[in-house]
Chains A and B, each alone.
Chain A
Amino acid sequence: MREVYLDNAATTRCNPQVARLALELMTEDYGNPSSLHRKGFEAQRRLRAARRQLAEALGCREEEVIFTSGGTEANNLAIQGAVAARLRLGKTLVAMATAHASVLEPLRYLEKQGHTLRLVPPLPDGSADEAALLEAVDGDTVLFCSQLVDSEVGTVAPVAGLSRAIRRKNKNVYLHCDAVQGLGKTAFSAARLGVDSLSVSAHKIAAPKGCGALYLRRGARILPLCYGGGQEGGLRPGTESTPLACAFGEAAALALGNMEENSAHVKELREYFVNKLVKIPGVCMNSPPQATPYICNLSVPGYRSETMLHFLAERGIYVSSGSACSKGAASHVLKAMGLPPERVDSALRVSFCPRNTKEEIDVLCEALGEGMAALARSGKGK
Chain B
Amino acid sequence: MALTQRRNYRRSLVGISTILLLLLFWYLATTLTGWVNPSRFPRPDEVLSAFTFIQTEGYGNGKLHQHVLHSLKLVAMGFAVAVSVGVPLGLLMGYSRRAEALINPAFLLLRPIPPLAWIPLAIVWLGLEDGSKILVIFVAAFVPSVINSYTGVRNIDTPVMEAASMLGIKGWRMVAEVLVPGAMPMIFTGLRLSLQASWTTLVAAELIGALYGLGSILNQAAQDIFPAMILLAMVFVGICGASTTWLLGVLENQAMPWRSERVAT
User: A and B: partners?
Assistant: no
Residues of A within 8 A of B (CB): none
